[in-house]
Amino acid sequence: MDSVKLFDAQAALGPCAPGSGVFISADDVEGQWRRLGISGGLFRYGVPNRAADLPYDNDRLYGMVEGRPGMVPCPAVAPSAGSELPPEGTQVDEALRRGAGAAWIRPEPDAWSTEPWCADALFGALADRKLPVFCQMEQVALTGVGELAERYPGLPFMVSGVPYTAMRSVVALLKAFSNIYLCLGSPWCVHGGIEFLIGHGLASRLLFGTGFPEAEAGAALGYLAYADIPMPEKSLIASENFARLAAEIRR
Amino acid sequence: MSAALAALRQGLPIPIPGIFDVHGHLGRYGFAIPGTDPPLLVGQMDRLGVARIAVSHMHCMKWDWESLVWGHDRVREAMERHPGRILGYFSVLPDDGARIRGEAQQRLGEGFRGIKLHNGNGYAYDHPGFEPLWAIAHERGLPVLFHTWGGPELDQIGALAARWPGMRAIAAHAGSQNVEAYLRLAQAHPNVFLDTCLSKSPRGLVERLVKGAGAHKILWGSDAHFFSLSHQLGKAIASDLTEEELEALLSGNAQRVFGGPAISFR
């Protein structure tokens, strides 16, 4: 595994859970990476289930990862119907200008619907640039992810936070929609899960991710390191699949 | 970097002798779990360097005797096929004292090493019908693995541990919620231990349990076949523990609780 480049597609910086008193800095992340042999990652700012000031939080994120080439920002985006946010296309342009590798959607705390009457302009702008969408199952259920993937077939969707119980839906979802990708960070830890998905020909659709800082990153590392799969598939999951998605972004 | 962390990063067997998983399962459950055959589990143990796993059948959550007994038979078969690698827990229901005594006698005679109870079957741990079981656990010094989720069952376990000091109680999923209650439970009773399995694997929880309850009170459990052994082992090894604390967590404490000598399968 030491020869495999690890890119963490499921990580965050900034404040952790309210009341925890923990704020994750870029230096904290790099310290973790040195211990675990991770060389890069896609970063959101803050926690997924709390109200946010999106432009401010995105600026904090950009500032924290600036000058750190392994750290790729994943800013939050939302429909601009309230007119307090820039138009959707402008949000996407700004994300790309600042080096984003994906865009984070958080419909619940940011109070918007993924239905076309609310979000078509947003997803249309993302699809135009093929900027992957990062979402968490607690924000967008698998049914909703499938509906979005069907509606925007050229737009990649990265799904995280999927529980270990969801294999029946996950394998069907990945087979049904070639533009959906599963992040393997906690709590996705079902016994034999990686081997099973590889056996269904889904090696190109899995992304190494840790769930850091909520989760101990070593858990996901162990899950991949000991998976009983060939090394080329391990490399795809570890970083190559995300690198391919990033290369396909129309910057 | 510790030798264990270096091995984890390379996907090599962890160089700690006698790694002992105190929380495993065999069999199917309601959601899809790929590859539940015991030989596949043992194969994964080999890749990770895990010497032993103590398992109950998924039927430990059932609430009829026939289902429990069927599960016990499957565990016995796995124990016979993988001697020394797979150890068995048996389960009981509190509705028939004679049957508790009979099932315990049979299963202990077959080599089962402990008891697993899951209150998801509708029976609280302080149900008076369990009294014959506690007497056996106390007398034989048996480990009793209790499913817990940070609720009133922790007080029930504390009361049982105080009344039956020979029993070795293991509270599963420690820190699932209400971490301080778990720490108080383990601190208050020398015969109460905590296990570490949680799918979310919160960062810092293993360290908090070890520092708060004492390194001698925490046992490593994976909850396989629900969770992957590798995921739960990775969580433990990447935690910020000393090498002595890690060895106690992964191996020494369980060897002591289960009353066996330190072993290595390699």
Give the residue extent of every domain in chain B: 3-11+18-257
pLDDT in tens, B95-138: 999 999 999 999 999 999 999 999 999 999 999 999 999 999 99
Determine the pLDDT at residue B260: 52
Report the complex ipTM: 0.94
Side chain identity at residue B226, one-letter code: F
Contacts of A73 (CB under 8 A, 6+ apart): A42, A43, A58, A61, A62, A65, A95, A98, A99, A100, A101
> Do B202 and A163 make contact, defined as CB atoms within 8 angstroms?
no
Q: Which two tokens stand for residue B146?
A: 């209790």
Assigned domain for A2 exists: no
Tell me the residue range of the domain where A239 lies.
7-247
CA–CA separation, B39 and B32 (whole Å): 18
Mean confidence (pLDDT) of chain A: 96
Determine the pLDDT at residue B35: 87
| β-sheet with A23-24: strand ranges across | A23-24, A7-15, A40-45, A71-73
Contacts of B131 (CB under 8 A, 6+ apart): B97
H or E element at residue A9: strand A7-15
Side chain identity at residue B139, one-letter code: E
pLDDT confidence tier of residue B73, bands split at 50, 70 and 90? very high
- Contact status, residue B256 vs residue B249, Cβ threshold 8 Å: no
Q: How many structural domains comprise chain A? A: 1
CATH of domain B3-11+18-257: 3.20.20.140
Q: Which two tokens stand for residue B235?
A: 């969580």
Is the model's pLDDT at B266 over the cut of 50?
Answer: no
With 0-12 CB in 10 A as exposed, 13-18 as middle and 19+ as buried, what is A27? exposed
- Contact status, residue A126 vs residue A90, Cβ threshold 8 Å: no
pLDDT in tens, B74-86: 999 999 999 999 9
Pairs across A and B, CB distance < 8 A = 142
H or E element at residue A146: helix A142-151
Average pLDDT (A193-216) is 97
Rounded (5°) CA angle B89-B95-B99: 60
Question: Looking at residue A102, which CATH number applies to its domain?
Answer: 3.20.20.140
Rounded (5°) CA angle B261-B262-B266: 130
Contacts of B191 (CB under 8 A, 6+ apart): B161, B165, B166, B167, B168, B169
- Contact status, residue B110 vs residue B78, Cβ threshold 8 Å: no
State the smallest CA–CA distance between residue A228 and chain B in angstroms: 8
CA–CA separation, B44 and B41 (whole Å): 5
Average pLDDT (B8-31) is 96
| Tokens 């495999």 belong to residue | A4
> Do A216 and B235 make contact, defined as CB atoms within 8 angstroms?
yes
Query: Which chain B residues touch A222 with a CB distance below 8 Å?
Result: 8, 228, 230-235, 237-238
Query: Which chain B residues touch A195 with a CB distance below 8 Å?
Result: 34-35
pLDDT in tens, B208-256: 999 999 999 999 999 999 999 999 999 999 999 999 999 999 999 999 9
Of B31, B32, B233, the CB nearest to A222: B233
Average pLDDT (B18-39) is 95
H or E element at residue B103: helix B97-109
Determine the pLDDT at residue A50: 86
